[in-house]
Each structure stands twice: as structure tokens, then as C-alpha cells.
Amino acid sequence: MAGHSQFKNIMHRKGAQDKKRAKLFTKIIREIITASKINTDPNFNPKLRKAIDSAKEVNMPKDKIENAIKRGSSSGAGDNYEDMRYEGYGPGGIAIIVEALTDNRNRTASEVRAAFTKSGGQMGETGSVSYMFDRIGLIVYPISKASNDDMLEAAVEAGADDCISDDENHEIITSVENFYSVKEAVKAKFGEPENAEIIWRPQTLNKVEGENAEKLLKLIDTLEDNDDVQNVYGNYEFNSEFMAKIN
């Protein structure tokens, strides 16, 4: 994975999930249900707005989105999900953050811990690795949308912290607080972004090769296969040869 591009890390994660459409729908529906308990109007509920945007990105039918909102607003039995975050070290000492939505924290913690252990890693306490990451907003446009200067100017005017462009993408970086206002501002100028979400961005990346790379990829796949797990982040970088092999 290219070390300079957080988007490429995200797309690897999303690509793995997209192969399992039903599981991806389940994850997003949980996000909508949980967010709807706060407020059912996405105009006044950024968390719900983000979940609905995620649903639209994967072409979830409108009736499924509406039903999920109704389930959240009615506080139905079995729909009480909690936001959980797990942290630990994977193969090669790679720092891993796992975000989950669960209706049984004991079950989820046990399954996440087992995944770490089987990979030769170890789950730690909350805060044990998150200090090596920054919580940011990331908005991505393909390079064809605008020149580097035009995208940077629009991002800065909208209140973004930075805009990094490479041969493929413009990556707009924002604070969590400014994420939604920046997103709406650049969306009005350039249209829907290719990707927009609040993420954990590693401060530095560590190269993983050989057996450790194989074990780490298996750990990530195992975690993402878990219905309770929403997102997996790590401070790793696979080399181009390994990426070519798995793609």
C-alpha cells in the first residue's frame, strides 16, 4: 500500500467488504439504527447523515434505509447497539484500532480478542495504540475533478486543514468538528466526493513483509468478517509486490 495515501488503505478495507454485500448492508443498517436513536432528521444528526450517505454509496434500497430509521426511532427490542473501540497489536507489532457496534459487548470483545491471539497479536486496553493515530475527516475526489490548485483553494476556503494531491486523488483533510461543513461546501462546487468519512489516520506507517504480511492480512479479513465490526485501521504499509499478489 502506498504510504502517502490513507485513501488506498480505506479502499482496500472497503474492497474486502464489498465482496460480502449482505454483511456490508448489515453493518450500515446498524449504524443507521444507532444514529436514529439520537434524532431521525439527518439535517440535525451528522452521524445519521453519514450512515445514510454510506448506504447510498453501496446502492442500498431506499426502503431498507427507511426501515432502519424506523427501527432506531422505535427503540425496538434487539436494536440496542453500543459503540465500542478495541485496540491492540497485530503481527509485526502493527497497531490496530477496531470500531464495532454490538448488542453484546462480551461476545464481541471475546471474538476480537480471539482474532488478535490467533494471528500472533495481542489486544490491549483502550488508548494503548490510539495515541499513534489522529482522528480526522477525509474527503476524496479523483484527480480529474479539478486542478491541484483549485481543489486546495476550495478546501482551504471551506475550512479544511489541508489538501494533498497525488497522481490519482485529491485528499482533503479536516478536523472532526469541521468535517460536515467542509464536505457540503466542496460538494456544492465539485459534486459528490468519491469517499468521505471520519477515520483514524496513523501518524506513521510501518512496512510489513513476508509471513507477517500474510498474518496481518488474515487478521484484518477475520475482523472485517465479524458482523459487529464496523471499521479496522492500522499503521501498516504493504509493499507493491505483496499488493500485486493479493489483488
CA distances from 112 to 109, 215, 234 (A): 5, 15, 15
Strand partners, 166: none
Strand partners, 99: 85, 231
Global confidence as pTM? 0.82
pLDDT at 3: 35
pLDDT above 70: residue 216: yes
pLDDT, greater one: 77 or 69: 69
pLDDT at position 19, please?
53
pLDDT of 12 above 70: no
Q: What is the pLDDT of residues 17-64, one digit of tens each?
A: 455 677 788 889 999 999 998 899 988 888 898 899 889 888 899 999
Q: What are the cell numbers at 73?
A: 426511532
Q: Residue 239's pLDDT band (boundaries 50, 70, 90)?
A: confident
For 79-117, the pLDDT digits (tens) are 688 899 999 999 999 999 999 999 999 999 999 999 999
The SS3 of residue 205 is coil
- Cα separations in angstroms, 105 against 78, 85, 112, 194, 224: 13, 10, 10, 33, 17
CA-CA distance, 213 to 72, in Å (whole number)?
39
Helix (H) or strand (E) segment spanning residue 55: helix 46-57
Q: State yes or no: pLDDT of 177 exceeds 70.
A: yes
Which residue in 61, 128, 52, 62 sits closest to 89, CA to CA? 128
What confidence tier does 75 reach under pLDDT thresholds 50, 70, 90?
Answer: low
Sheet hosting strand 162-165, strand order edge to edge: 162-165, 169-174, 133-142, 195-202
Query: Which letter does DSSP use for residue 4 in this model?
Result: T
How many whole angstroms separate alpha carbon 185 and alpha carbon 5?
A: 23
245 pLDDT above the threshold of 80: no
Would the pLDDT of 68 be above 80? yes
